[in-house]
Structure 1
Amino acid sequence: MPRTGLSPEAARQRATEIAVARIREHGFSKLRLADVAREMGVSHAALYAHFRDKAALLDAVTDSWLADARQRTARICEGPGPAVERIEAWFVERYRIKSGRVKSDPEIFYGFNEATAGERPVIRDHMALLCSELTGLVEEAGLGGRAEAAMLDEALTAFLHPSLIAPGPDPDREAALRRLVRVLLAGLSATRS
């Protein structure tokens, strides 16, 4: 089969885009490397130069899906305002991203959920970044460090774990998340006084 004429990075990007489109059209479980290769105009074997297996391609899909989330949480971390307010905004944004995506992009979200359950490296890296962001905000707010950030994240799992996200943003659920974040932050603040 012919070469694509794309650089290795561009070929990876194109394969990822095709995989995303195929997942949306046919479902996460029906993605096949052979179909992606055919649509790219390369052999199945040629695609292995870019992705060692289907799991690696799915990791690339998940990573591309998470890129927007990383930008959105980073903007909050780097933004103006008191760190305590940005902690609340950071958790609310994570909830909005996931609850919005489960409704607007259910097959890709299903893949993200599967990657989370399988503890894929792309998810571990993403979680490490989130931990670093939250730790930075907690430190900036003077509420502790990594241990307190981990406690906050664990306490809010019911709002953020992919398996527990309800379809679409729920204003009542978001309000409950805000209340719980405020209670937890008040508790951390009280222990620092």
Structure 2
Amino acid sequence: MPRSSSSEPVEARILETARAHVRKFGAARATIVGIAQESGMTHANVYRYFPSKDALLEEVTASWLRPLEARLREAADGADPAYDKLERMLLAIHRVYRQKLETDPALFDLLVDALDKAKGSVRKHRARVQSEIQRVVEEGVASGAFAMADRRRALSLVFDAAHRFIHPLAMRLDAEAAGPAIEDRFERIIALVLRALRSGRV
């Protein structure tokens, strides 16, 4: 059931407090009781909005992923050529994840944990990301911008080549590497992928 607009400030307060507790204590030590106390309410009231601690933490993660999903939809809907869209979308995914990894590691770890446990909110996020990229690849094939006519092969090329740079689990392995150097390497990989898509040759 959709929540009424009057409930939004309360939910937002709970989420902001939950973010602060995850940053301060870590996800394992953050508790509904502590979050409720700091939010100025009973834990029973928190459960009115989120049925469990897991549900609350999933929403904490989903809330910072939604703007990225919106950017990808906007890019996919744009009038630019498919190869420009694809480059912009892949870099957007990398930059959003990388910034979170560098500036908000506790919340990035929530995303990694959700991926590791295949939680629903992150499965939906991955499906949305993949859907928008698939839409652009299919557009490129249909318009002739991409000579690689096998859509499945084209998508596999994109995701296989980009994996290290857009999958949070892989990105965490590069956490100590300099961000600009990693992005420069990704830009070179994207250029190779686009060349293959446009030529039809790998």
Question: Are 2:59 and 1:60 equivalent residues in the alignment?
Answer: yes
Q: 2:162 aligns with which of 152, 156, 160?
A: 156
Bigger mean CA deviation after superposition, 68-77 or 46-55: 68-77
Q: Quote the offset at 1:146 in angstroms.
A: 5.8
Separation in structure 2 between the aligned mates of residue 98 and residue 107 of structure 1, nearest angstrom: 13
For 1:176, the aligned partner's letter is: R
Q: How far is 1:80 from its partner?
A: 4.5
Deviation of residue 145 (structure 1)? 7.5
Q: CA deviation at 1:28?
A: 2.6
1:108-127 equivalences in 2 (<5 Å): 108-127=107-126
Task: Tell me the residue number matched to 1:178.
Answer: 187
Letter of the aligned partner of 1:139 in structure 2? E
Structure 1 window deviating more from structure 2 (74-83 vs 51-60): it is 74-83
Q: Which residue of 1 aligns with 2:83?
A: 84
Partners of 2:23 and 2:134 in 1: CA distance: 35
- Counterpart in the other structure of 2:196: 187
CA distance in 2, matches of 1:150, 1:52: 38
Instruction: Tell me how large the CA RMSD over aligned residues is.
Output: 2.3
Looking at structure 2, the residues matched to 169 and 149 of structure 1 have their Cα atoms a distance apart, in angstroms, of 28
SS of 1:42's equivalent? Answer: coil
Please state how far the C-alpha of 1:105 moved relative to its aligned partner.
0.7
Identify the range of structure 1 (71-80 vs 98-107) with the bigger mean alpha-carbon deviation.
Answer: 71-80
In the alignment, which residue of structure 1 is the partner of 2:128? 129
Q: Which moved more, 1:80-89 or 1:66-75?
A: 66-75
Structure 2: 5+ residue runs without aligned partners? none
Deviation at 1:16, TM superposition (A): 1.0
Report if the CA contact (8 A) 2:19-2:60 is conserved: yes
- Count of aligned pairs: 187
Counterpart residue number, 2:94: 95
Q: Kindly, what percent of the aligned residue pairs are identical?
A: 28
Deviation of residue 99 (structure 1)?
1.2
> Taking structure 2 as the reference length, what is the TM-score of the superposition?
0.82
TM score, norm. by length of structure 1: 0.85
Unaligned 5+ residue runs, structure 1?
1-5
Tell me by how many angstroms 1:40 deviates: 2.3
Question: Structure 1 pair 145/7, CA: closer, same or farther in 2 (3 Å)?
Answer: farther
* 8 A contact 2:75–2:89 mirrored in 1: yes
Given that 1:135 and 1:145 are in contact with CA atoms closer than 8 Å, whether structure 2 keeps it comes out as no
Q: 2:26 matched to which residue of 1?
A: 27
